[in-house]
Amino acid sequence: MNEERARRIGERLRSARRQRGMSLRNLAGLAGVSVGYLSMVENGQRLLDRSSLIASFAEVLQIAPSELTGQPFAAVDPHTSAAHEAVPALRLTLMGLTMAAPPDRRAPQVPAAVLSERVAKANRLYHGADYATLAAGLPTLLADLHAAAEAADGAGRRVLLKLLADAYHPACTLLLKNLGYTDLAFIAVTRAAEAIAELDDPVYSALAGFFHTHVLMAAGSPTQALAQATAAANTLEANLTSTDDAHALLGELHLISATSLTLDRQRPGNTRTEDVRGHLKEADKLAGRTGETQAWHLNFGPTNVGIHKVSLNTDLGRHGAAVIAGDGVHPQTLAEAPGRQAAFHADLGRSLAHLRGREAQAVAALLTAEEIAPQRIHASAPVRNTVEFLTDRQLPAHAARDLRGLAHRIGLPL
């Protein structure tokens, strides 16, 4: 045993444990080791050299493993890795499924209500940011829905076509977008549009436009995204029903139009800001009418509008305004959408990072976001950029340690 290395690792482990206010017994229990073993490691009598134990201690203490070893340590996020591992099967499913060429399988012998619950579950997994479980289950769900729709006719077929659209939106399209597979997200939104075309329903056509806007933004074309959102909003307004569901979709279109505008760097800053405010004002009015709603498997309402006020000001570089906008927003209202809650805290952290003297609060906000929806935060490019930005700032020791832990978990070499 390298006695000097064992002593240094033991001292680092003890220091991290005490900084977290944890007893030997608590840390040992959470890491799955005996108190005696942990005591010997901290006293330099045992060398902590098993990567699994190093990772376990680091995870419990929310630090980077390199904080213990003093050496580089490969980052591993098993859940996000599992989501990416499931994508090849989902890719093949998307490539093989079209309304003109249905899957070569028998329709599931279950009522439409059972399929509807499976679609609802998939969307709950998306909003819960459980990307790994969702990605693994989508190929079978989509194939079953296509087969069921092919076997049905009349009113039953219309029901199944709507379920197909609801399975692609948002669970499949936004999952793939968030994981960085913009091309596959485009295929998903195209498959949904094929089903919607047969419905000949202007409200569902506007829904397809809404998700198409998401994909165009992810592809780096805010101008095309805004045009798509505007066209969808015009279609919806020309066929607006009295239901809150239609008004909720219109509100979502105003929010995504505002988001598209923040990304359009070709548009003058003052014009962008004013246009964003205009869309937010319309969304506010609509949210006042609908209240909190989960129409279209989304989360439109006053809370989501408030969350967007933070994200939109952040993307406009109005960081002080973003933090002020966060006051009074209660993201926990969206109890069934931890992904949206995490987005709020992440955007708040992104803005706090740019306010002098509030960097430690920024780290705390990012950690809160990660705790709520780790898979979403670990896959977020804006969060990654913010963590990189904060590594060059002067931080209190505890915040710097927390930041290094987060950097490791999202795969940033530091």
The pLDDT assigned to 72 comes to 56
Reply yes or no on whether the pLDDT at 102 is more than 70: no
Nearest one of 121, 15, 14 to 397, comparing CA atoms: 15
The pLDDT assigned to 46 comes to 81
- For 242, list phi and psi in degrees, rounded to 5: -85, -5
**Angstrom distance (rounded) from CA 202 to CA 330:** 34
Mean pLDDT of the chain: 90
Average pLDDT over residues 42-46: 86
Residues 6+ apart with CB under 8 A from 149: 99, 102, 157, 160, 161, 164, 195
Average pLDDT over residues 267-273: 85
**Interval 380-396: pLDDT, tens:** 889 988 998 998 889 99
Provide the phi-psi class of 268: left if phi over 0, else alpha when psi is between -120 and 50, else beta: beta
Residues 6+ apart with CB under 8 A from 330: 303
- ∠ CA 25-29-31, nearest 5°, is 120
**Angstrom distance (rounded) from CA 352 to CA 357:** 9
The pLDDT assigned to 90 comes to 95
The pLDDT assigned to 4 comes to 78
Total count of residues recorded for the chain = 414
Residue type, 348: L
**Angstrom distance (rounded) from CA 396 to CA 353:** 14
Average pLDDT over residues 361-383: 94
**Percent of the chain at pLDDT exceeding 70:** 95
Kindly report each contact of residues 380-387 with a partner whose C-beta sits within 8 Å and lies 24 or more positions away, as own/partner: 380/178, 380/346, 381/180, 382/346, 382/347, 382/350, 383/346, 383/349, 383/350, 383/410, 384/410, 384/412, 386/349, 386/350, 386/353, 386/362, 387/412
- For 410, list phi and psi in degrees, rounded to 5: -95, 5
The pLDDT assigned to 253 comes to 98
* Residue appearing with tokens 């129409």: 295
**Interval 105-121: pLDDT, tens:** 788 888 999 999 999 99
**Interval 303-361: pLDDT, tens:** 999 999 999 999 999 999 999 999 989 999 999 999 999 999 999 999 999 999 999 99
The pLDDT assigned to 289 comes to 96
Yes or no: say if 182 and 215 are a contact pair by the CB < 8 Å rule: yes
Give the pLDDT band (50/70/90) at residue 5. confident
Return the minimum-mean-pLDDT range out of 66-70, 229-233, 322-326: 66-70
Average pLDDT over residues 222-234: 96
**Interval 74-83: pLDDT, tens:** 555 566 678 8
Reply yes or no on whether the pLDDT at 1 is more than 90: no
Residues 6+ apart with CB under 8 A from 37: 28, 46
The pLDDT assigned to 79 comes to 63
Average pLDDT over residues 239-244: 86
Average pLDDT over residues 393-402: 92
Give the pLDDT band (50/70/90) at residue 38. confident
* Residue appearing with tokens 């980077």: 64
CA–chain centroid gap for 150, Å, is 33
Kindly report each contact of residues 321-325 with a partner whose C-beta sits within 8 Å and lies 24 or more positions away, as own/partner: 322/347, 322/348, 322/351, 323/348, 323/351, 323/352, 323/355, 323/358
SS3 144: helix
**Angstrom distance (rounded) from CA 33 to CA 111:** 49
Average pLDDT over residues 176-202: 93
The pLDDT assigned to 147 comes to 93
